[in-house]
Amino acid sequence: MKAVQFFTRLKWELLRLFKTGVLVLVLLQLFFFSKVLLMRWVDPESTSFERSEMARLASHSAVLYWSQNWVPYDKISVHLKRAVIVSEDDLFATHNGVQWAAVEHAWQKNQSQQELAQKSPNARPLHIVGGSTITQQLAKNLFLSGERNLVRKGQEFLITLALESVLSKKRILEIYLNHVEWGEGVFGAQAASLHYFHKPAAQLTPQEAARLAVMLPRPKYFQKLPNSVYVQNRAEQITARASQAVLP
């Protein structure tokens, strides 16, 4: 009899915990959705990634260099918009937030690297490939941490759907370009343009825009190698393809 009572209480306790977990998850999604909805009218002052970077820089340096200046969409060079789309997300204007073919390719590549790492203990550390779109990158930077796991990826996907359903493509690109990292303490198109070329973002040339686009996957790394052969060659490729970009 006591065993039956114990398992009955355990069942109800687990059910209560499950309901509580579902409620917390729903409330969390409502929180994210309300924040995204507000972005239709209000420019976000900072992102989760920016705040974490500011805290990191503040703890490691006595002198904190930080540069970010919001500029509206029409004050950002069309060359930079085209270069970023060609480099980061060529189907940005037409997809629903996720490029499924790119996700599948990234998954296959990660699986291959994981299998190789298991066979070769002395292999280089595993580099996880994301296959993220501009919208997914924005979702991650706005609200999430930099760690890579299935739970965070799932939350990124839900925020991506919210961004795509509530905001226009033009607004998504505007927010992205104003908050994406372009070097140590350098965030947004205006700050990057002033930092690297000493001119506002509206005045970037096709070649300058392409060089900034090259930096996006690894901004801190390329900040130290601005004139490398790779940067020059990749920038030329982006410049040649920029006219193909479809702007929102």
User: Per-residue DSSP letters for 89-119?
Assistant: -TTTTTSSS--HHHHHHHHHHHHHHHHHHHH
Provide the pLDDT for residue 241.
Answer: 96
pLDDT > 90 fraction of the chain, expressed in percent and rounded: 61
Distance (Å, whole) CA 114 – CA 119: 9
Burial class (CB in 10 A: 0-12, 13-18, 19+), 49: buried
Same structural domain, 34 and 51: no
Is 90 exceeded by the pLDDT of residue 22? no
- 38: tokens are 């507000």
* Token pair 């609200």 in the structure block, residue: 143
Same structural domain, 17 and 80: no
* Token pair 């941490």 in the structure block, residue: 145
- Nearest alpha-carbon partner for 47 in 188, 169, 152, 171: 188
**CATH code of residue 89:** 1.10.3810.10
Provide the pLDDT for residue 119.
Answer: 62
Domain span holding position 218: 46-98+133-244
Same structural domain, 22 and 57: no
Q: What is the tally of structural domains in the chain? A: 2
Same structural domain, 80 and 169: yes
Same structural domain, 68 and 191: yes
Distance (Å, whole) CA 74 – CA 81: 10
Tell me if 122 is assigned to some domain. Answer: no
Same structural domain, 68 and 157: yes
- How confident is the model over 63-110, as pLDDT tens digits? 567 888 999 999 999 999 999 999 999 999 999 888 766 665 555 555
pTM of the model: 0.86
Tell me if 203 is assigned to some domain. Answer: yes
Q: In the predicted model, what is the mean pLDDT of the chain?
A: 86
Tell me if 72 is assigned to some domain. Answer: yes
Same structural domain, 84 and 169: yes
Same structural domain, 32 and 54: no
